[in-house]
Amino acid sequence: MSMINYASREINCKIVYYGPGLGGKTTNLEYIFEKVNPETRGKMISLATETERTLFFDFLPVDLGSIRGFKTRFHLYTVPGQVYYNASRKLILKGVDGVVFVSDSQMERMDANIDSMHNLYENLAEYGYDLREMPFVIQYNKRDLPSIVGLDELRAQLNPDSVPDFEAVAVKGIGVFDTLKAVSKLVLKSLS
C-alpha cells in the first residue's frame, strides 16, 4: 500500500487505471499528464513491447492538502488492456492504493468490460485485496459515440455496489479530472 518517504515528507500513493483494451486508460493518463503543472509532476514512462504498453507517471497535487504534515504524491499507472497480459496486469496491481476502472461504453465492448472487471477482482484477490474495501471508482468512457450502452445498464452490469462513477469522453478531457479527484479523495480518506 502507500509508502512514506520521511526524508521528503511525502506519502506515495499508487492509483491504477484498469479496464479492457482500447477503453481509454492511456488516454486518461495522457490527458492528466498534459494538464498537470510540469513543476509538480515526474516524467511519463512508457514500458512498451510490440503489443502492450504500460504508462506511469507521478505528480504532487497542490490542492489536496497534507496528512499530518506530509504531502501526498500520486503515482498513476495503466495496465495492458488485453487479458493475455494478465501477469503484467497482476504485477502492476501490487501495492495499489486506489483503482479506476475505465469501461468502454460501446455496446460491442460490454463483454470485454465484464471480463475485465472479473479479472480485476481475481487479480486483487490473489494479493488478499477486496475491491469493495478499497478506494475504487468507475469511469464510463466514450459517451460521445453513437452506439453506446445506457447508463442504467452499465451501472447494473459493472457497478452493483454503487461506487462513485463518472461519464467521460477522455479524448476531450470530459470526466477525466472528476474521476481522478474522486479516487484521490477516497485514497486520502483511507489514509487518515
Q: What pLDDT, in 10s, does the model give residues 43-72?
A: 888 876 665 556 676 666 655 566 777 888
* pLDDT tens for each residue of 140-183: 999 999 999 999 999 999 999 999 999 999 999 999 999 999 99
pTM check: above 0.85: yes
CATH entry, 3-191, from 3.40.1410.10, 1.10.3470.10, 3.40.50.300, 3.30.300.30: 3.40.50.300
The domain segmentation of the chain, as residue ranges, is 3-191
- Predicted pLDDT of residue 61: 63
Phi, psi for 28 (deg, rounded to 5): -60, -50
* pLDDT tens for each residue of 13-47: 999 999 998 899 989 998 998 898 888 888 888 87
- Predicted pLDDT of residue 132: 94
Residue 24 CA to residue 162 CA, distance in Å, equals 21
* pLDDT tens for each residue of 85-117: 788 889 889 999 999 999 999 999 999 999 999
* SS3 of residue 4 by DSSP: strand
Please count the helices (runs of H) and the strands (runs of E) in the chain: 5, 9
The amino acid present at 98, given as its one-letter code, is: G
* pLDDT tens for each residue of 117-143: 999 999 999 999 999 999 999 999 999
- Predicted pLDDT of residue 182: 97
In this structure, what C-alpha cell is assigned to residue 132?
469493495
In this structure, what C-alpha cell is assigned to residue 11?
506519502
In this structure, what C-alpha cell is assigned to residue 162?
454503487
pLDDT band at 2 (very low <50, low <70, confident <90, very high): confident
